[in-house]
A and B are shown apart, each in its own frame.
Chain A
Amino acid sequence: MIKTYVTIILLLLATTLATSVLAVEQYLMPEQFLAEVFGGNTPKPEVLWVTKGIAKQAEKILGHAPSQLRQRYWKNGGKSAWIFDEVGKEEPITAGFVVSEGKIAQVRILTYRESRGGEVRYPAFLKQYQGAELQTDYYLNRNIDGISGATLSVNAMNRMARLALYFDQMSRTDSH
């Protein structure tokens, strides 16, 4: 009888712990993402200063002011890598974007913190961004199919993808 009670209590504890662990899921550390992008030879970070003009356009893309004035990014061999945090519903999603020749080359979810909508991490969803470009109205030149129950996470991903393309444009303007 006591054994049964102990088993039930342990099972309940395990379930509680599993639930709390699942709340934040880190799929990839930023340094792992960068190592993957640059073949283990991660360049030194560069900086894009979010000046007033850039911040104004970034605010239009994000729907809110950018959180910081200095955006770090990594650039080598014609491609740049960007890591952003953007709130889906309540918690920020950390995602990495690789831009090459003004097009999105790769997208990865690094950390997902929302309780629902984690399907955005699946390659089947993320590959839709490959080759996407920024139009003159600062929207993507293609439609990204949504996921039922993950609309806000998909919207956050779209905003970050647009921001990565915009910041990439600005970083190239900045350096020339």
Chain B
Amino acid sequence: MSRRARAMRFIRHWHARAGVLLGIFFLFLAFSGLALNHTDSLGLAKQPINTSWLMRWYGLKPTVPTHGYLFKDGYLASAGGRWVMDGHVLSETNQLTVGAITWGDMRAIASANDLFLYLPDGQLVDKLSGAALPNRPIKRLGSILSSVTNPDTKPQLILETPQGRFVTTDGLTWQTWATQHGVSVQPVWSNEQALPSSLSTSLNKAFGPSLPLERVILDLHSGRIFGRYGPMLMDLAALVLIILSVSGTWIYLRTVRRQSRH
């Protein structure tokens, strides 16, 4: 057997084996690359992954708050930019709460610049900000009990701001509180309290760490999920792919040349 034929045989032999052995690996790279190319249309950034072993692998631990706001039949807790009401992660996050209170059949939650009205099931009724509020920043949120004002009417919501206290019955129009009620009626202000231990299961679940699916696929694709040597492994795979492309082309050209001679 000539030297060239031996080389050809060697290349064919290892080209086929490397192709079969790393085929699944290449398919994975190709599919994950395709997914990342269409991350917006597939909504990968919006799909959270919270599998516990994966979160442990990433070294992420739950940040469970110990304090929050208690309603008659529920709670609001916030930590790490996440607001959780009775186990529901609310859509509006990333703001620090300054108060939360039951207001009629709704729950009012205030941050310094916004007032959110939610139904107990976590549906947002309205978000008041800017000119929809009488003043900002909101320092405290409270209510004036209907039994004090008028037992037949809905309790009034009261905001304390640096410019004074303002009340509303509908969240649309606001009045200065002091001129309306004098000083004898005292509002009930919402205060942060220690959350009872009975909520720990619900809180652990709601505040468990999560990552967007896009991040996980990106780390798998780049190899970073396997630690510091992961990217090197992917580099090695890329090198093998380059070698396979070259050897494949070489095998093809040799075969074509041989066929043309015959």
Contact = CB atoms under 8 A, between A and B. Distances in A.
Interface of A: 29-31, 34, 44-45, 47, 67-70, 72, 89
B172 A45 contact: yes
Interface string B70-95: 00000000000000000000010000
Interface stretch (B123-131, B135-143, B242-250): B123-131
B130 A69 contact: no
Contacts of A30: 130-132
Interface centre among B40, B126, B173 (most CB of A within 10 A): B126
A69 B132 contact: no
Contacts of A45: 132, 172-173
Interface of B: 40, 91, 117, 119, 123-127, 130-132, 172-173
Given A45-B172, A47-B172, A67-B91, A72 B126 contact: yes
A52 B174 CA distance: 29
A45 B171 CA distance: 10
A62 to B, nearest CB: 15
The 5 closest A-B pairs by CB, nearest first: A31-B131, A70-B126, A68-B124, A69-B125, A70-B125
Interface SS of chain B: helix, strand, loop or mixed?
Answer: mixed
Contacts of A31: 130-131
Contacts of B132: 30, 45, 72
A117 to B, nearest CB: 15
B172 A69 contact: no
Contacts of A44: 172-173
A70 B117 contact: yes
Interface centre among B117, B124, B131 (most CB of A within 10 A): B131
A44 B91 CA distance: 28
Contacts, number: 32
Given A47-B172, A72-B132, 8 more contacts: A30-B130, A30-B132, A34-B131, A45-B132, A68-B125, A69-B123, A69-B124, A70-B126
Contacts of B123: 69
A31 B125 CA distance: 21
Contacts of A67: 91, 124
Contacts of A68: 124-127
A90 B117 CA distance: 24
Contacts of B91: 67
A29 B131 contact: yes
A172 B172 CA distance: 20
Contacts of B40: 89
22 contacts: A29-B130, A29-B131, A30-B130, A30-B131, A31-B130, A45-B132, A45-B172, A45-B173, A47-B172, A67-B91, A67-B124, A68-B124, A68-B125, A68-B126, A69-B119, A69-B123, A69-B126, A70-B117, A70-B125, A72-B132, A72-B172, A89-B40
Nearest to A42: B131
A69 B130 CA distance: 19
Contacts of A29: 130-131
A166 to B, nearest CB: 19
B91 to A, nearest CB: 7
B131 to A, nearest CB: 4
A67 B92 CA distance: 10
Contacts of A69: 119, 123-126
Contacts of B127: 68
